[in-house]
A and B are shown apart, each in its own frame.
Chain A
Amino acid sequence: MIYNPFPMRVISKREEAPGVRTLKIEFIKQEDHEFFKAHYKTGMFGLYGIYGEGESTFCVASPETRTDYIECTFRQSGRVTTTLANVDAGDIVTFRGPYGNRFPIEEFEGKNLLFIAGGIALPPTRSVIWSCLDQREKYGKVTIVYGARTVADLVYKHELEEWKQRDDVDLVLTVDPGGETPDWQDHVGFVPSVLEKVAPSPDNTIAVLCGPPIMIKFTLTALEKLGFTAENVYTTLENRMKCGVGKCGRCNVGSTYICKEGPVFTAAEVQQMPQHDL
């Protein structure tokens, strides 16, 4: 029934950054996998769990173009994530989902894409990035601006390397002042100021922005300065969730249930929400 999760097997675990790990998990039952393949679209989230500890909500970090497995990236902090951080390949975990809405990537076709992410918020962005890169011909120029506190805190380092090598992707990396290592070649500075420096053109461009609330706030101002309209900026919201299906009553921001009506919103929609409920 409604709260019964799918059993999943851990394929592999990867250390991304201090305290941050990525789990790659696969469906054990064929019918569960079919359900997922039929319903998953980039931007949706799920409840990842482990029996005995509970469930925790994060996005599906793998793109809709790759549905043989699910990847999720999380920071070890609470009871569930601490246990999930300690699983090994072959262990059984659970997944409930996919829930929520999606990034309308068909509507992005023919447009330039600007991805902006901060810290641990690269995973939801990465799901859209790969969904678009896997159908590269459909989109225009792709720019990725990614920042973290320190060099060590950058996640998906091997993929950052891959994007850097590609000619059809413009990758801009930055770390906060003081977070750079002696051999750091890229930018030093906060994402909004680096963004203004790089100054991508807003013409025919969709921006996808994910990060901590404070970064979102300042980056939106920077995007506005660059000429982006709030309708062309997409973001995802997160709140504490228990059910994921609009029943448990805690994830709403104003009248908007993040789990049912989100997690993907345009900046224009977010601006309509009561800011003190975020």
Chain B
Amino acid sequence: MGLQEQYRKEAAELLSSGEVKLVIGYGEGTTADRRRPVFVRSAELVSRLVLDASGVANLSAYLVPEGLLSDGKKVAVFLKPDGVRSINILAAEAQLDPGQVVILGFDIEGGQPTPLPGRKASDYAPLIESLKGSGLSPELQAEADRLEQMGAAERFEYWKEQFSKCIKCYACRQVCPMCYCRRCIVDVNQPQWINTSSHTLGNFEWNIIRAFHLAGRCVACGGCDRSCPVNIPLRLINHRMAKEALDTFGHYAGESADQKPVLATFRQDDPETFIL
């Protein structure tokens, strides 16, 4: 029995036993290579669930907005390790109770989905530990290295061109499990910190501040990058922040549900070589 069948069966059991009220998974998309999030509420409909190597989206983003978990009932979600890390962060930041999330875990190896046995976020601690410090894909790493080699002025020009494309559709924010603020800083207008206009300056401010707000929280699911309709390589900037958190503070986002957020804690001997 393939993994898809196995998880369909498990989803059906979870639903019919009443353990979960909803299963969030992947379904057929508009084209053969696309998968779309599907919401299954009854055991009869589990055949809508599809699991293959195209299921890459981090579905944990659906748990917090519009109060999905506010009734205290459980929800089952198809998650890769990055999604499990998101659950840990959301739990650490008191946005959800990880006990309400049943994880149908999988990973993609060699173009095939492989099962991960853990059903609770805490089951994943050893796996997450082993992933610590895993980097970007070779192509993205090459692009990141190319950027690091540049001088500041050249790098500025690079991002200026990239950000000039931004249309402030906020797909990056909306798709991100970590962007759950009821009122985003860009929507705060007293004072209006970030220019809402999507000229290059406003785009610069927006993208820099969003990257900062994700520092040490991003799990590198790549959702922002994939959803950006104008193809800004947002993953590079978020990965750079994650690297800083790991290298300087030993912080790997989403290790556990009681991990302190990196910027909400400190050590007295944190490095400060740059401070005059």
Q: Hey, which bits of chain A sit against chain B, CB under 8 A?
A: 78-79, 82
Contact = CB atoms under 8 A, between A and B. Distances in A.
Interface string B183-213: 0000001101000000000000000000000
A79 B189 CA distance: 7
Interface string B132-165: 0000000000000000000000000000000000
Contacts, number: 6
A259 B192 CA distance: 27
B194 to A, nearest CB: 14
Chain B interface secondary structure, helix, strand, loop or mixed? loop
A78 B188 CA distance: 11
Interface residues of B, number: 3
Contacts of A78: 189-190
Contacts of B189: 78-79
Q: Which 6 pairs between the two chains have the least Cβ-Cβ distance?
A: A79-B189, A79-B190, A82-B190, A78-B189, A78-B190, A79-B192
6 contacts: A78-B189, A78-B190, A79-B189, A79-B190, A79-B192, A82-B190
Contacts of A82: 190
A257 B58 CA distance: 39
Contacts of A79: 189-190, 192
Contacts of B192: 79
A82 B189 CA distance: 12
A202 to B, nearest CB: 44
A275 B189 CA distance: 30
Interface in B8-31: none
Nearest to B188: A79
Nearest to B192: A79
A82 B190 CA distance: 10
A257 B44 CA distance: 43
Contacts of B190: 78-79, 82
B180 to A, nearest CB: 24
Nearest to B190: A79
B147 to A, nearest CB: 38
A82 B192 CA distance: 14
Nearest to A82: B190
A198 B189 CA distance: 45
B36 to A, nearest CB: 27
Interface in B249-269: none
A79 B192 CA distance: 9
A145 to B, nearest CB: 36
B210 to A, nearest CB: 22
A249 B200 CA distance: 26
A228 B103 CA distance: 60
Nearest to B189: A79
B69 to A, nearest CB: 25
Interface in B198-247: none
